[in-house]
Chain A
Amino acid sequence: MDNKLIIAKSEPLWNTNNRVVFLISSLIILLFALPLFGLNSFYLHLFIMIFMHAVMAQSWNVIAGFSGQISLGHGAFFGIGAYATSFFYIEYGISPWISMPFGILVSGFFAILIGIPMLRLSGHYFAIATLLIGISFQVVFQRWDLVGAASGLWVPMTSEDSWSALQFHSSKVSYYYIFLVFFIITFFIVWLLSRSKLGYRLRAVRDDPQAALSLCINVSNYKIIAYVISAMIMAPMGSLFAQYILIIDPDRVFNIEISIIVLLITVLGGIGNVWGPIIGASILIPISEYSRIYLGGTGGAVDLILYGLILMIICIFRPDGLISFVPKDILERKKQR
């Protein structure tokens, strides 16, 4: 008896599979080296979009996958980030590097503001409320003259590449590296979160809030914490996206499509799993970009048809996402039987 306990205690906390460590590190090196092989600007764009969407989906994964609250209006935080940098750059010439953290804070602040009343709601009530909030942001920004109302904000172009203004016109390589760094940092933040005490407690809240209460977990506080973290991950992507395309308007950055795609990527890849958003984004974004090239143009709805179809098929046949094809003991915790 005691023997078994001693054996159990001697097990490592995490199954750090050498193959996975090797895989991750070589992938990171490969991604850093990739532009050196002279990717053309379409492929750079493709990778930038994959990185960006993986981070956005990771943000959604924190609130939906870890704490179990389905937000259908997560585009709001993307838009807040985008407007924060563009507005302060245009009005006061403040560098995006300074306004980006500000956007993160504003986003987190709004998450608290929204979260305190809303996260007392559960299930469908919360989902519908967030859907309404996402649209409310769009409606308000469409009519807010200070930030350009419906026509949005045009970021004045610098005459040459500038790190301080976060604008690069000669090549997309710099954008590639910036997005890549954010992608890697976010991955590790969420990865650490999933293994922390907070991560354990969030999963408890997700699986059974009633039982979580009996274990000293203040369920609403933990939901709010998850919501704030999630919002703060989302905002810098909005900021970077604004600097990448240099023109933002409510229909672009507060579009419900943003809320849809983060959900779709996460569900496709595997919800509640750190790898899910990465797998989802690397499959979905190429499909979307290619379908826009070969099929799109007219109305651009083709990729949305695919999104809807994929979402339904995944829900019916693989509710745990594509990650469920990968044997559990390779990626995450070892389950000894």
Chain B
Amino acid sequence: MTSEIILQAIVTGLMMGLIYALIAAGLSLIFGLMEIVNFAHGEHLMLSMFSSFWLWSLFGLDPIFSIPITILLMAFCGIITHYFLIRYILKAKMLIQICATFGLSIFIRSIAQLLWTPDFRNVDKPLLEGRLEIGSVFIGQPQLIASLVCLVAFIGLYLFVTKTETGLALQATAQDRHAAEILGIPSNKMFAIGWAIGLGCVGVAGGMMANYFFIFTDVGINFALFAFVAVALGGFGSIIGCLYAGVIIGLVESLGGLLIDPSFKLLYVFAIYLLVVIYRPQGLFGRY
């Protein structure tokens, strides 16, 4: 085992981690806002990858150009999700909230399977191809661009939430929706915005990954699991925590795969989750 291989694993893990971070940020934003865990997050990611795929396959749009459309579609999907499902279960017991989004995840995944079959697809000859060689480390171009776009989107999200008026209104609703309502911030609208942004993040990640990832109906499951782990790691509701947590997960996944056994990648990440939630239930970076 040479240092080059380890360096390669670190770079790969880092790039993957940035993508996990953005997916988790969407989940965390929604949770922070209304204390609902979107168990259909992986399916939403799957939808965004398929959106990218179909825009390419039907209209010849390269994933890199269809990104804005995918983001808009996903944001719309978020608003629909809120309007038809979430707003009815806001006051329900946690059990019912979990079951409802869990039901949504089963529904989306199986509808997708019915419509598109469980086949593996991929975007043929996208504009982003090939790889760079820096020293002895190979970096896939699409992977690199995807993770950079995700990082930019993440920073954009962070600035949006902390600096803009809408972002501050979101934070106010997250802290105390009743107090925010008294100040004239309609919480229902904020929730819809939260879902639109949360799934918009997923749209960015899914759209970029469509460049180099296989696209199939179960693709979201692992990403969603990692996003759950990242959100717990970063502290439920904390957005910046997701960045660190996503990178940690990416590194654990690639280094664990390299140093121990790649077929148990999932288990290493789960082990991290268990260690963190048991010994630091507020997350590694949670304020609480």
* Chain A residues at the B interface, C-beta cutoff of 8 Å: 64, 68, 70, 72, 117-118, 120-121, 123-125, 127-129, 131-133, 135-136, 139-140, 143, 260, 263-264, 267, 271, 298-299, 301-302, 304-305, 307-312, 314-316, 319
Contacts and interface: CB of A to CB of B under 8 A. Distances in A.
Contacts of A316: 85, 88-89, 100
A133 B269 CA distance: 12
B99 A315 contact: yes
Contacts of A263: 99, 102
Contacts of A140: 264, 267
B103 A315 contact: yes
Nearest to B105: A308
B79 interface: no
Most chain B C-beta atoms within 10 Å of own C-beta, residue among A64, A117, A124, A316: A124
A327 B21 CA distance: 49
Contact of B99 (A125, A131, A267): A267
A70 B98 contact: yes
A308 B274 contact: no
Contact of B106 (A125, A131, A260, A314): A260
Interface stretch (B11-19, B108-116, B205-213): B108-116
Contacts of A123: 94
A295 to B, nearest CB: 10
A132 B225 contact: yes
Given A301-B114, A304-B109, A311 B263 contact: no
B232 A128 contact: yes
B277 interface: yes
Band of interface residues on B: 35 or more
A174 to B, nearest CB: 34
B193 interface: no
Contacts of B89: 315-316
A136 B106 contact: no
B236 interface: yes
Contact of A260 (B31, B95, B102): B102
B113 A299 contact: yes
Contacts, number: 130
B54 interface: no
Contact of A305 (B100, B111, B229, B281): B111
A64 B96 CA distance: 11
B72 interface: no
Contacts of B225: 131-132, 135
A125 B232 contact: yes
Given A264-B103, A301-B113, 15 more contacts: A118-B274, A128-B273, A132-B270, A132-B273, A267-B95, A299-B114, A304-B113, A305-B107, A307-B107, A308-B103, A312-B104, A315-B96, A316-B85, A316-B89, A316-B100
B40 to A, nearest CB: 9
Contacts of B281: 121, 125
Nearest to B118: A299
Nearest to A122: B281
17 contacts: A123-B94, A128-B228, A128-B229, A136-B267, A298-B114, A301-B110, A301-B114, A304-B109, A305-B107, A305-B111, A308-B103, A308-B109, A309-B107, A311-B100, A315-B103, A316-B85, A319-B92
Contacts of A118: 274, 278
